[in-house]
Amino acid sequence: MADENPSRSMPDAGKESPIEPSPSLNTVYAPPAYHRPKRWRNIVIVIAILVVVLGGVFLWRYLSSYESTDDAQADVHLYPVSARISGYVAKVNVEDNQWVQEGTVLVEIDPKDYEVAVAQAQANLTSAEATAQSLNITVPITSVNTSSQLKSTASDIENATAGITAAERQLIAAHAQLEEAQANDVRAQDDLRRYKLLVDKREVAEQVYDQALAAAKSSTAAVAAAGANESAAQQFVEQAKSRAVEADANHESAETGPQQVSSTRARVRAAIADVEQRRALLEQAELNLQYTKIVAPVAGEVNKTVVVGLNVQAGQQLLTVVPLDQVWVTANFKETQLKHMRVGQKAEIHVDSTGQTFAGHVDSIAGATGPLFSLFPPQNATGNYVKIVQRVPVKIVLDPGENRDRQLRPGMNVVPDIILQ
């Protein structure tokens, strides 16, 4: 220590110690050098703590600014293409995994049977239209004839009634003439008997008797003629009554004319309905002919299960079209991750297979958890209940143009990040 700090050694007794100036008078006091490292160490510790705190805050804010899950897959609506008619497959125009546009003819069924059906339906329609047209022409003719018959039969009834009246009057007149002739004949016969007695007594001339005899014969003939006239008048009456009965019958028959017109109109309506039915059958036949060409409902890749020569039935699935331009992501987030998740928030989708990242947004959040849509949904009201965090499907739609190369395929695993802020 003496060598390291000679200024602190005791002076020699025989030597005179020089006078040193007082430190308090000529120098400023400085703390010892061994205090400085401790202060810098504290400053560094404080700075490190601040950096850790700030880093933790920023890390917490970053981690809380998004939600992510690896339980997510690309999804899409598959479009099954089936036959709408039965028939023989004549041509298949696509191969497996071929890209097709909407409306592309995929499969052609032999159209011959359906062309024949169209021709037959067209012929049936033409025949039904001709029948309806002829009945339409008959209706006004029948109406006019019915009106004329009604007027004619009414006139015939009036004429028959008048004929009966005239015939009855003639009968009355003929009967009166018969009675008059009979009275004259009785008088003539009485005169003849009296003149006969007088002639026998020769009280009158025979000429007078001959006149009486002629008068008697004339009166007898007049009676016969009057009787014949009365019989004829009686027949006229009967004939007039017969004509009246016939006129009544004709009028009653004519009165059924409106019903006949209604019946004809009903037949016309039935014919028109038959025309409409035939037209509908023709349209159905034409539709069936169109259905012989099966087209793609949307643009996409084709997966086929049909070959040429196959006899297909109506409703049989032949192909499946996968519209890769309509792919979305179904992400199953935990229910605890949905607190700040909203429709419209931006998302980043990381694809496991290609390493690509797509931009999108939240389109919708399912109305229930995934297990509730299963065939046998869980029943938590049991004695062995264990609380399990449920997952809710969230639909994430890609932004336009993101999947332009169609590398994102349905079923692929993806990791979506939903940006919450």
293 neighbors 119 (Cβ within 8 angstroms):
no
Mean pLDDT in residue range 285-292: 95
Return the pLDDT at 196: 74
Q: Report the percentage of the chain scoring pLDDT > 90.
A: 39
- For residues 256 and 23, the model is more confident at 256
Please say if the pLDDT value at position 32 is more than 60.
Answer: no
Return the pLDDT at 64: 62
Rounded Cα distance between 91 and 167, Å, is: 92
Please say if the pLDDT value at position 44 is more than 90.
Answer: no
Please say if the pLDDT value at position 10 is more than 50.
Answer: no
Mean pLDDT in residue range 91-99: 95
Please say if the pLDDT value at position 65 is more than 70.
Answer: no
Using pLDDT thresholds of 50, 70 and 90, give the confidence band for residue 346: very high
112-138 burial code (b ≥16 CB/10 A, e <16): eebeebbeebbebbeebbebbeebeee
Please say if the pLDDT value at position 1 is more than 50.
Answer: no
- For residues 418 and 38, the model is more confident at 418
Please say if the pLDDT value at position 284 is more than 60.
Answer: yes
Q: Which residue has the tokens 């401790």?
A: 38
Which of 121-125, 260-264, 322-326, 361-365 bottoms out in mean pLDDT, i.e. has the lowest? 260-264
Rg over CA atoms, the chain: 64
* Closest to 79 (Cα-Cα) out of 307, 299, 316, 404: 299
Dump pLDDT digits (tens) for 197-237: 776 777 767 777 677 778 777 778 877 887 787 788 788 77
Return the pLDDT at 133: 81
Using pLDDT thresholds of 50, 70 and 90, give the confidence band for residue 312: very high
Using pLDDT thresholds of 50, 70 and 90, give the confidence band for residue 289: very high
Q: Tell me the pLDDT of the chain averaged across its residues.
A: 80
415 neighbors 388 (Cβ within 8 angstroms):
no
Return the pLDDT at 17: 42
Return the pLDDT at 7: 40
152 alpha carbon, distance to own chain's centre = 55
Dump pLDDT digits (tens) for 229-268: 778 878 877 877 777 777 777 766 665 656 666 666 777 7
Mean pLDDT in residue range 153-167: 74
Mean pLDDT in residue range 147-160: 68
Mean pLDDT in residue range 75-103: 95
